[in-house]
Amino acid sequence: MMESPVKETKQGIIIRGIAGFYFVDADGSVYRSKARGLFRKKGRTPLVGDRVTIEIQNDGDAWITAIAPRRNAFVRPPIANVELFVLVLAARKPDPLPLIADRFLVMAEAKNAEAVIVINKEDLAGSAEIASLADIYRPVYPVFVLSATEGRGLDDLRSALRSKTAALAGPSGVGKSTILNALTGRAIAETGETSERLGRGKQTTRASELYAIGDGIHLFDTPGFTSFSATMAAGPVDEIEAMEAELDERELAYCFPEFAPYLGKCRFDDCLHRTEPDCAVRRALEEGGIARSRYESYRTILEELRTLKRY
């Protein structure tokens, strides 16, 4: 790309990156842009989701001249500025595991993002079964019950996403791609069914993109955010693991928003809410102010953090 005279400067958002080019949406037009060598020298690679300043040249191409400070950034998938995570669980197939959900929620909190919970595949389970899962989370996060294949509940979810930049997260097979396609109205993501038909594995890796889907909503098309193990693999395998490696054991309780009213009220200032006497968090648990499965997840993740730290 040759330098040509600068025509104008605009603010935009990177929606796609391919082979050194960044596609920047600014005022509804998309500009093919390159980053100034300056960024790479400083080790600052632009990411999909970055808010940037571009200088548009006479030939229509543009240079990225500044990257706005990020709310958060992720390595796998490589994206920035997730405002809200849509954590997707299935009512069945696969059966929901609260610990897996809670790991994602801890990541969202640790990364300064909001979260909502979707219980998808509502058509496969009874209402009592769905309610017992929803009840764990309703006091803490908005919960949406959906059947993506039958088109139920999508409008409410869409309303919750208004004006947000959001990413879908959750275990494989819960319906993230189906929901993304339903929300965008386009067959953007390969669902389990299409990848089976094409004889491809589920681990098809592909660059992330950011889609504007109306109502000010931007949705990341993230094939990542599916892993859930902090300690099973030898090295960091995904964002959750990397996050857990960084998170201090003292910070974990702050990643459970419903613990907040009790923090600082335990007998010991350094209480980790395990077996210490006069623990306000455990008292809230006994009195029903904290859901047992959430507390159990806290304890499990806490032990993992302590194990990680020992190495």
Q: Does 193 bind ligand GDP (CB under 6 A)?
A: yes
**227 near Mg ion, judged by CB under 5 A:** no
Q: List CB contacts of 14: < 8 A, sequence separation 6 or more.
A: 22, 23, 24, 33, 46, 47, 48, 49, 50, 52, 64, 210
Does residue number 176 form part of the binding site for ligand GDP (CB under 6 A)? Answer: yes
Q: Is 77 in the site for ligand GDP (CB under 6 A)?
A: no
Q: How many CB atoms lie under 10 A from the CB of residue 16?
A: 18
* Per-residue interface string for the shown chain with Mg ion, residues 158-187, x marking contact by CB under 5 A: ------------------xx----------
The DSSP H or E segment spanning 37 is: helix 37-41
Name the binder of 281 from Zn ion, ligand GDP, Mg ion, none, CB < 5-8 A by kind.
Zn ion
Residue span binding ligand GDP (CB under 6 A) among the ranges 54-62, 64-72, 185-193, 287-295: 185-193
Which of 148-158 are b and which e, b meaning 16 or more Cβ less than 10 Å from the residue's Cβ? bbeeebbeebb
Which part of the chain contacts ligand GDP (CB under 6 A), choosing from 134-142, 173-181, 203-211, 297-305?
A: 173-181
Q: Is 78 in the site for ligand GDP (CB under 6 A)?
A: no
Question: Among residue numbers 84 through 143, which ones bind ligand GDP (CB under 6 A)?
Answer: 120-121, 123-124
Judged by CB under 6 A, does residue 192 bind ligand GDP?
yes
Question: How big is the chain by its Cα radius of gyration, in Å?
Answer: 21
Q: What is the DSSP letter of 191?
A: P
Rounded Cα–Cα distance for residues 134 and 67 (Å): 39
CA–CA separation, 73 vs 204, rounded Å? Answer: 22
**Closest chain position to Mg ion (CB):** 177
Contacting positions for Mg ion (CB under 5 A)? 176-177
